[in-house]
C-alpha cells in the first residue's frame, strides 16, 4: 500500500505566495477587468460624442468622486498591466531572472502602479 500523504482539502487563503505570485494574480485580474470595462468606456465615448449636452454630462460625471475613482482604478489596472507586461518581456529574454531581481521587480510593479495612476488621473481630470 503506497503512502499517499497528499492533502485532500487545500485552503487557498492559507497558502503563502511570493510577491511575484501576487503580482501575477493582479496582472491577470487587471487584464480581465480592462476587457470588461470596454463596453462601459465605449458607452461613455458614444454619449460624450452625442452632442454638447452629452459631453457636459460625461465631463461632470468624470469630475465627481465616483468618476474619479473609476478612472483611477482603470488607470491603475492599465499601468499595472503595462509594467507587469514589460517585466514579463524582460524575464523572457533572461533579464532579471535571478531570485532577488525578480522579487524586486515584482514589488516595484505592485508599488509603482498606484502612484503613477494617481498622477495620470489627476493630470487628465
**What's the topology of domain 21-124?**
3 helical TM bundles of succinate and fumarate reductases (1.20.1300)
* Backbone dihedral region for residue 4 (phi beyond 0: left; psi -120 to 50: alpha; all else: beta): beta
What integer best gives the mean pLDDT of the chain?
90
Residue 1 has pLDDT above 70, yes or no: no
Angle between helices 65-92 and 19-48 (to 10 degrees): 130
Q: Is the pLDDT of residue 30 over 80?
A: yes
Question: Which stretches of the chain are DSSP H helices?
Answer: 19-48, 52-62, 65-92, 99-124
- Res 23: pLDDT: 94
Q: Is the pLDDT of residue 83 over 90?
A: yes
Which pLDDT score, from 0 to 100, does residue 17 have? Answer: 87
The predicted pLDDT at position 15 comes to: 82
Q: What is the mean pLDDT of residues 23-37?
A: 95
Residue 7 confidence class, pLDDT cut points 50, 70, 90: low
The answer, as to whether pTM is greater than 0.85, is no
What are the pLDDT digits (tens) for 97-114? 888 888 999 999 999 999
C-alpha cell at 115: 502612484
Amino acid at each position: 500500500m503506497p503512502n499517499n500523504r497528499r492533502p485532500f482539502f487545500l485552503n487557498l487563503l492559507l497558502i503563502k505566495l511570493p510577491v511575484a505570485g501576487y503580482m501575477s494574480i493582479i496582472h491577470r485580474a487587471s487584464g480581465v477587468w480592462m476587457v470588461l470595462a470596454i463596453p462601459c468606456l465605449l458607452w461613455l465615448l458614444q454619449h460624450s460624442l452625442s452632442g454638447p449636452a452629452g459631453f457636459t454630462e460625461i465631463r461632470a460625471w468624470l469630475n465627481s468622486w465616483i468618476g474619479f475613482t473609476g478612472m483611477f482604478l482603470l488607470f491603475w489596472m492599465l499601468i499595472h498591466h503595462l509594467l507587469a507586461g514589460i517585466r514579463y518581456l524582460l524575464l523572457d529574454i533572461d533579464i532579471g531572472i535571478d531570485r532577488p531581481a525578480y522579487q524586486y521587480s515584482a514589488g516595484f510593479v505592485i508599488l509603482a502602479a498606484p502612484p503613477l495612476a494617481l498622477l495620470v488621473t489627476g493630470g487628465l481630470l
